[in-house]
Chain A
Amino acid sequence: MTTARPQIDLGPYKYGFRDPELYVYKAKPGLSRRVVEEISDMKGEPQWMRDFRLRALEVFFQKPMPTWGADLSAINFDEIHYYVKPTERQGHSWDEVPDYIKKTFDRLGIPEAERKFLAGVGAQYESEVVYHSLREDLKKKGVIFVDTDTAVREYPDLVRRFFGTVIPPADNKFAALNSAVWSGGSFIYVPPGVRVEIPLQAYFRINAEAMGQFERTLIIADEGSFVHYVEGCTAPVYSKDSLHSAVVELISMRGARLRYTTIQNWSLNVYNLVTKRAVAYEEAVVEWIDANLGSKVTMKYPSVFLMGKGARGDILSVAFANTGQHQDAGGKAIHVAPYTSSTILSKSISKGGGRTSYRGLLKIYEGAKGAKSMVRCDALILDPYSRSDTYPYIEVAEEDVSIGHEAVVAKISEEQLFYLMSRGLTETEAMAMVVNGFIEPFTKTLPMEYAVEMNRLIELQLSGAVG
């Protein structure tokens, strides 16, 4: 594989550096039964997982490409490397991670963040998780935070009970693909009543060209527990496209609260097609906080199934589309039980010809009496070349409900810019301040360190040569 091609200039993306490929194993491009069996062999998996993969592969081959959303016609499944194993073993201290990979995560600030404000960290590089840690006190309380491959080996009962139950392989073509070739991702179990007060984080890095990353994440917050999980992701800039197709399943048991935060900042040659879904049982809470800044195309609609009385789901989706990007994002709330409540707040920004779409579903089943939902889409369009659309779907089969829907499209006003510039801010700084204010409902949910980084990313997006 050649990597000699000069890096194309995509402006302010600062995570576009790449490492040499010193891999233990790299699958040939293309997808077949053979590739799936190879992955399963290398992982030494139990038969049930191998069967699960192979069944999913059939589903993937059968299902047509979805054509209802963003344009996916340029994806060439035959060009993608479905499995790349960077190292033989996983490190539990950064010293055990190969130098060149450690250096990458250093540049991304992960070890530093871990020291400062995280309770546990997972770092995935290509297909495998190369580093994992969890604070001792949490281990003692019975908290499990490992990569999903390790979980299959060490916690087979838990994994078998929940794996693929929230998102079955047949859910959609890309969930089927992930189910067939998945590798890595996080597995978290929080025992009843345990509160993990500081965030757990996973970081996903793609390094190779035309790489497919298919992590699989499963989080179970047992009764009355609390956990906040944060994921971030970046990749180098290549001219050939990569594919990131994760499946994330969340289970929030009775009275538990589970918050999942994503800051997606893939390079502009990554298709990001992710299925994220949660179930919330009685009085449980699920919060999806989902920010999409990078990628060429993103299609992602975090969902919550409100299965138990009094369950709550809050989805906050933020999308920033710059030149050449289409962010097709949103959220889905499905009310099955009575007195459930949901909010979906979408904040999108488009610039330099970028396109954002809000796509969402609010569904209330008959019998979900007293259900409450509020859907709000705010779009900010920074110039006349950019575009924003909303596709809100609402299906309500119960009469005793209270729902609201609001959509507002705004432009940055000349008066706002002039006001801030009269206080000494340059035009770019003024624009960044208005945009950061616009997404403040999102930023304020973040730990302070991420909020600062987020504001900086927005400023970079606005100051670059792009657009």
Chain B
Amino acid sequence: MTTLSPLLQIEDLHVAVEGKEILRGVSLALYPGEVHALMGPNGSGKSTLAYAIMGHPKYQVTQGRILLKGEDITSATADERARKGLFLAFQYPVAVPGVTLFNLLRTAGRALRGQDLPVVQFRRRIREQANLLKMDESFLQRYVNEGFSGGEKKRAEILQLTVLQPTVAVLDETDSGLDIDALRVVAEGINAFASPANAILLITHYQRILRYVRPRFVHILAEGRIVRSGGPELAEELEARGYEQVLQQVRSQA
């Protein structure tokens, strides 16, 4: 275990949506260079955690804290969090008609880096990353998520990740709805992004993406709490036995 301080630290997080408590005390620490997988059945609160970390106004933190690079961001707005180095790849990214993907990348790049963003290099990086994700350059001129297939949306999210280079990335079910070829391409993108300087929280329902992106830790979220944590073998156990059995075992031990 590293002696560095965590990039993302979540302490006893309780989150309510429209008055209903969804997360009931989640704690996590992501250190530099780490990939954590967060797994859990439908309705366990995975997406709620993702939104709460990014600061969606509908997701109210009722208790606990979120720290980014040691700084308390619990009450920061989403754009402040982004400028401090946080990124969320959405499970269902919305369409923004009339705004090209290229324009979004450029505007976001400027918002995150300020005016001194080197334009020529930045353009080149967008093109390079698009090529790595096997996206045609014409794709950059399409309107953000408008008429995109499920796979195209996920690729566009990962393109934003690799171009914007955040310090902490939360990927919310980036693997869902992808066929095997697209899954491999997206996983390669995530691996290309991962470095000793950043950390990734990979939220997923299925184990299959973990064949390509190896996590250091796997956590199981159920009913708003992390009920078990372990190494990559935990994902394999889940795959072999299913959520129901693993969760039953957890309950009987409790």
Contacts and interface: CB of A to CB of B under 8 A. Distances in A.
A20 B38 CA distance: 69
Given A424-B82, A433-B96, 18 more contacts: A414-B57, A414-B58, A416-B96, A418-B56, A419-B90, A422-B78, A423-B160, A424-B164, A425-B107, A427-B77, A429-B107, A430-B79, A434-B99, A436-B98, A437-B96, A437-B97, A437-B98, A437-B99
A461 B99 CA distance: 19
A427 B98 contact: no
Contacts, number: 77
B71 to A, nearest CB: 16
A386 B157 CA distance: 34
B97 A424 contact: no
A156 to B, nearest CB: 47
Contacts of B81: 422
A438 B98 CA distance: 6
A426 B111 CA distance: 8
Interface in B50-80: 54-58, 77-79
A7 B103 CA distance: 37
A424 B83 contact: yes
A382 to B, nearest CB: 16
Interface string B108-141: 1001100000000000000000000000000000
Contacts of A430: 79
B104 A423 contact: yes
Contact of A422 (B87, B96, B107, B143): B87
B96 A434 contact: yes
20 contacts: A414-B58, A418-B57, A419-B93, A419-B94, A420-B96, A421-B79, A422-B78, A422-B90, A425-B79, A425-B108, A429-B107, A433-B103, A434-B96, A434-B99, A436-B99, A437-B97, A437-B98, A437-B143, A438-B97, A440-B97
Main secondary structure of the interface of A (DSSP, over half): helix
A421 B78 contact: yes
Interface string A425-462: 11101100110111111000000000000000000000
Contact of B82 (A413, A422, A436, A438): A422
B96 A421 contact: no
Contacts of A419: 90, 93-94, 96
B190 interface: no
A439 B98 contact: yes
A338 to B, nearest CB: 35
Nearest to A419: B94
Given A414-B58, A437-B143, A423 B108 contact: yes
Interface residues of B, number: 29
B120 to A, nearest CB: 18
Give the interface size bracket for A toward B: 20 to 34
A415 interface: yes
Given A433-B96, A437-B96, A437-B99, A422 B57 contact: no
A439 B104 CA distance: 16
B88 interface: yes
Contacts of A439: 98
A413 B94 contact: yes
A345 to B, nearest CB: 13
B94 A415 contact: yes
A423 B82 contact: yes
A423 B164 contact: yes
A285 to B, nearest CB: 24
Contact of B111 (A414, A424, A436, A438): A424
A422 B98 contact: no
Most chain B CB within a 10 A radius of its CB, from A424, A426, A437, A440? A424
Contacts of B87: 422
Contacts of B94: 413, 415-416, 419
Contacts of A434: 96, 99
Contact of A421 (B82, B90, B93, B98): B82
Contacts of B55: 422
A422 B54 contact: yes
Contact of A440 (B78, B79, B99, B160): B99
Nearest to B166: A424
Nearest to B79: A421
A414 B111 CA distance: 20
A414 B57 CA distance: 9
A428 to B, nearest CB: 10
A430 B143 CA distance: 15
A346 to B, nearest CB: 15
B107 A433 contact: yes
A425 B111 contact: yes
Closest 7 CB pairs of A and B: A437-B98, A440-B98, A424-B111, A423-B108, A437-B99, A421-B78, A424-B82
